[in-house]
Structure 1
């Protein structure tokens, strides 16, 4: 399970992640919060995954509400509503160390130069990712969070510090700032806008589950602005434009 996912295979992956048995194999020690490498299996299927228990999160002064695991799950819901599959299949569930985020492990294409990729002006997946980050107000899009696969798809990971009420977009993907959004990006944004207008939609319910009401409102407002102005955003003058370290 390392290729890109269409709607049906993503549903299968989510079902396995939600209902399979989690077995912890080890810990990714470079992560700042507890990040466990696991196998999830239901007897007939198995896959590698990442498990981030809430119990292993370090409190953040600028994200005092909710959980990082919940924000990662909300990011997946937005990714699917856009139909861009930027985020690997992700669920919020109980596990060996309590509730947390479980995300399918993506085996990246090690032949891709991530620094060069991050500077690309033409990569369609990267362009969509920049729009996705603007929607979720991602404050930590580093080069190392890019996960290109051998079939050409591009995933992103580590979306725990996102959805802040205040504008905190911090990313290495500023190469399109002020440029018109491409037609596929606008189509996805208008689709998301309609879904966010319905409290019964899956994405609205997931955001309401994991975010505060002001954060949900701010997300809808960001989508409205992107749809109305139809350009890539600019950095905030009051917030660092780049994450540190950028890799």
Structure 2
């Protein structure tokens, strides 16, 4: 991450010169390592052009970048800072999502982290239930040296049908932490106001309504969700 605040970072991501420097070859969709430059500021980032999105049978074509930005907006609304700053912008290969590159702490054992009760992971589990993340792999979790855990790759979120697939089921059916309940209450209000209006430019009305229903369901049960019976509970590969 950077030493700039989120608004400054998003301004550079959206308005800066975007220079592609490499490609992440393990990604299923075209994912490019780039640098956004504006004035004297340079921000390493990930650029995912819509033209490089692989068609999916269960998500409309050309919508994954919009879902990435929508996930960032919901993350910001929670105050948890799970998703790195993300914008929708034009670039060398057309419009797409542009997200700050996160440097991962190489000393963190990801498998050990996934088995832990790290509060950051608990928050990500709640967040994923809200956005209906269909692909929370372990490799999509980025622990930093500061101890924060970011989550990335949210292109297959916000489906109307329940599609939650995650490696974070260790709290299934357990009560939600009190701070998560308060955050969900505030998020419910935001979805009915400014956040809902922002999401309307990125998601369908049905998808926004389904997001509200998921928040209401979590508040009604006050428990982490259980693995689905009609959908594979864990993505493949899990890491």
Residue of structure 2 in register with 1:81 after alignment: 77
Q: 1:66 deviation in Å? A: 5.2
Given that 1:81 and 1:195 are in contact with CA atoms closer than 8 Å, whether structure 2 keeps it comes out as: yes
Q: Residue 215 of structure 1 corresponds to which residue in structure 2?
A: 207
Which residue of the partner structure matches residue 141 of structure 2?
Answer: 146
2:191 aligned partner: 196
| 2:23 is the counterpart of 1:31 | no
Q: Per the alignment, do residues 61 and 115 of structure 1 end up closer, same or farther by CA in structure 2, a change over 3 Å counting? A: same
SS of the counterpart of 1:47?
Answer: strand
Please report the TM-score for the alignment, with normalisation by the length of structure 1: 0.94
1:26 deviates by: 1.0
**8 Å contact kept, 2:133–2:163:** yes
Does the 8 A contact of 1:2 with 1:149 survive in 2? no
Shift of 1:135: 0.2
In the other structure, the counterpart of 1:226 is 218
For the pair 1:179 / 2:174, whether they are aligned, the reply is: yes
Q: 1:164 — aligned with what?
A: 159
Structure 1 residues 2 and 154: CA distance shift in structure 2, 3 A: farther
- Cα distance in 1 for partners of 2:102, 2:54 equals 25
**Greater CA deviation, 64-73 or 76-85?**
64-73
1:67 to 47, 59, 63: 63
Instruction: Find the aligned partners of 1:195 and 1:66 in 2 and give their Cα distance.
Output: 27
SS state of the match for residue 12, structure 1? helix
Q: Which ranges of structure 1 fall in alignment gaps of 5 or more residues?
A: none
CA RMSD of aligned residues (A): 1.2
The whole-number CA distance in structure 1 between the counterparts of 2:2 and 2:109 is: 19
Match of 2:10 among 11, 14, 25: 14
For residues 152-185 of structure 1, the C-alpha deviation after alignment (integer angstroms, 9 at most, x for no partner) is: 1110110101111000100000000111100111
- Runs of at least 4 residues off by over 4 Å: none
The answer to whether the 8 A contact 1:2-1:105 is kept is no
Residue 2 of structure 2 contacts residue 43 of structure 2 at CA under 8 Å; is this kept in 1? no
- 2:231 maps to which residue? 239
Shift of 1:2: 4.8
Determine if the alignment matches structure 1 residue 100 to structure 2 residue 102: no
